Amino acid sequence: MKEFSFLMGGKAGDGVKVAGAILAHVLNELGYWIFVYEDYPSLITGGHNFSIIRASSKKILCHRDKIDVAIALSKDTPEHHPKRLKKETIWIYDADVLEKEKGLGIAMSKIVKENGLPQIARNVLSVAALAGICGMDFALIEKAIKENVPQKIEANLKIAKIGHEAGKNSPLKMKVNKLKDSARPLLSGNEAICLGAAAAGLDFYIAYPMTPSTGLLHFFAAKGGELGVTAVHPENEIGVITMAEGAAFAGKRTMVGTAGGGFALMVEALSLAGQAEIPVAIVVGQRPAPATGVPTYTAQGDLHFILAAGHGEFPKLVVAPGDADEAFYLTAKALNLAWQYQIPAIILSDKHLSESIFNASFDKAKIKKEKPKLWTGKGDYKRYLQTADGISPLAFPGQKGAVVKATGYEHDEFGLTIEREEMVVRVVEKRLRKKEALRKEIQKMETFKIYGNKKSQTLVVVWGSNKGAVLEAADRLGLKVIQPLFLEPFIDTKFKREAAKAKKIIVVETNATGQLAELLANHGIIANKKILKYDGRPFTVDELEEKIKKILK
C-alpha cells in the first residue's frame, strides 16, 4: 500500500492529539508525506476527540473519509465513525472499556495502572500496538516517544513495548513499508505562521488566547527565546491590539493573533492603525460564528467582515494562505509589507489550516527583514510628510532630532490636529496614494496560483485551507484550479484573464453564502456554481469529488 489513514479516538483528556503526533512522526520517519486532522469539542474532559493521520507516498494537504485502522480509547468511539469504516478496517481498542468482537483488544487501562501511569498513557500503548501490527520497528516508536512525551519516559517505553509485542503477535497484519524518501519537517499551520513572522524580523507577539490562534501564543511562549520574539499575554483583545500598536510606534515589529470575536474587539484600534499609519500584523483564525459559534471547528465566514473592518477609508493588506508553506511565506510577506507601507496587514487563516499538521518544505533563506522607509535625520521631522507614494519616513521616540507623534485625529505633516477641508482632502489622498502604491507592488508578486489541467474549461476557485481537498479532487477529475493569495488589494486583471478562459467556474468555500464568490462578482468574475459547506467541518477529497461530479454531469 502507498497510502494509509489511521484514526485515533477518545475522550478529551485521553491524549488523542499526542498519540496522533507520535504516529505522524513515526510515519514521517518512514518517508511518507503526512497530514493530520484534529477534531475536538470545546471541552476539557469528556466528549469525543479524534485525530485522522493520513500518510501517502505523494504530497498531501488534506484527509480522506475512509480509514484503514481505528484506535478506540473510549467506549463510544465506534459510534461516531460508522461512515469512515471499510470492510477491512482494523480496530485496536482498550478491552477494559470497550467490548468488541473483532480487532485487537488489549487491557490498556490495567496495564498502565500496573505500571504506575495515568490513564492518558494508553495513547502510547495503543500507537505502539499499531506499529506492531504494521511491522514497524520498535526503535521508531521509542524515538517518537522521547520526542513527544514530556515525562516518565522509561515507564512509557515499558508499556509501549508491551503494546508493540501485542500488535506484532496479533493475527491482524497491515504492512507499512519504509520509503526511500527522508523525513520532512512536520508543522501545524500556526507554527508555520510563527516561523514566517520570526524570519521577517518579528519582535513581539501579543495575544489573548482564542481558538484556533492560541497555538501561536503557546509556540512563541516556548520558542520565542530561540527566535528572538517576546510573547506577551495582556488582559483582553483590546489590550492586545493597543499594546501592539504602542510597541510598533516605538519601532518594534509586532503581530497579534485572534479569532473573529476577538478581532471584533480590535476593530476600533484597527482604524487607529490606519489613521496613525502604524504597522501591525494581525492573524485571524476563522471558526464558525456568530458569537461563540462552534469555537473549536472551522469555517471561512469572516471574509466580508475582514475586508470591510474599520470605519473610514484606509489601506490594509489581507492574505489567505492554504497550507503550511504558504502560511510561512505569506506571513513574512505581510509583516514586511505592513512596515514598508505603514498599514495593518491581516493573515486570514482558519481552524483547519491553523491546527492541522503538514509536511513543510519552505526555505527560510528566501525570507529576510525588509527595511521600511526611514528618516534621514536631516531637517525638521515630519511624521506624516506628503510624498509621491504616500509613504512617510519613519522615526521613533528617543531618536535624536525627532519629535514623533501618532494621532487618531486628522492631522498635518507634523501630526497636529487639522479640520480645514482642503487639508483633510490632502491627507485622505495621501493614504489613497499609499494604497495605489501597494497595489502596484503586489501586481509584481504571485497574487494567485494555478494548478491542475491548464487546458480544462472548468475552473475551480478555492481559497485558504480548502486548497488540499480541491487540488486532489481536481487532479482526479482533470480540472483547472485557481487559488487567490491576496484578497485585499485584490488584483483582478490577471485573474480575469484566467477566468475568461473557462466555460464553467465553480467556487468552493466553507461558508453558507459564498463570500469569495461575491468578492469575485464585485470584480466582474461570475461563478456558475458554488459548493458550500457550513457544518464546521472541512471538505474531504472524497465528498468534494462527488459534489463536483454532480455539477459536471
In Å, what is the CA distance from 495 to each residue of 2, 257, 436, 450, 499?
36, 30, 18, 10, 6
Please indicate, yes or no, whether residues 150 and 191 belong to a single structural domain of this protein: no
Residue that terminates a domain, selected from 101, 136, 168: 168
Residue 177 lies in a domain: no
Please indicate, yes or no, whether residues 271 and 357 belong to a single structural domain of this protein: yes
Domain of 24, in residue numbers: 3-168
Structural domain total, the chain: 4
Please indicate, yes or no, whether residues 470 and 389 belong to a single structural domain of this protein: no
Query: Which of 316, 345, 319 shows the shortest CA–CA distance to 434?
Result: 316
Q: What pLDDT digit, counting tens, does each position of 259-282 carry?
A: 999 999 999 999 999 999 999 999
Q: Domain with 488 in it: what CATH number? A: 3.40.50.920
Residue 253 lies in a domain: yes
Q: What pLDDT digit, counting tens, does each position of 455-504 carry?
A: 999 999 999 999 999 999 999 999 999 999 999 999 989 899 999 999 99
Please indicate, yes or no, whether residues 516 and 387 belong to a single structural domain of this protein: no
Compute the distance between CA of residue 97 and CA of residue 159 in angstroms, rounded to an integer.
Answer: 18
Compute the distance between CA of residue 212 and CA of residue 298 in angstroms, rounded to an integer.
Answer: 9
Q: What pLDDT digit, counting tens, does each position of 303-361 carry?
A: 999 999 999 999 999 999 999 999 999 999 999 999 999 999 999 999 999 999 999 99
Please indicate, yes or no, whether residues 385 and 361 belong to a single structural domain of this protein: no
Residue that terminates a domain, selected from 118, 142, 168: 168
Residue that terminates a domain, selected from 313, 338, 366: 366
Sign of CA dihedral 380, 385, 391, 395: positive
Residue 410 lies in a domain: yes
In Å, what is the CA distance from 299 to each residue of 186, 289, 296, 354, 377?
23, 8, 10, 12, 48
Helices (H), 412-491: 421-442, 467-477
Whether residue 1 has pLDDT greater than 80: no
Q: What is the pTM of this model?
A: 0.96
Of the pLDDT bands very low, low, confident and very high (cuts 50, 70, 90), residue 45 is confident
Q: What percentage of the chain exceeds 70 in pLDDT? A: 100
Residue 241 lies in a domain: yes
Please indicate, yes or no, whether residues 289 and 423 belong to a single structural domain of this protein: no
Q: Which amino acid is it at 481?
A: V
- Cell reading at 63: 484527509
Residue 173 lies in a domain: no
Please indicate, yes or no, whether residues 48 and 155 belong to a single structural domain of this protein: yes
Q: What pLDDT digit, counting tens, does each position of 9-36 carry?
A: 999 999 999 999 999 999 999 999 999 9
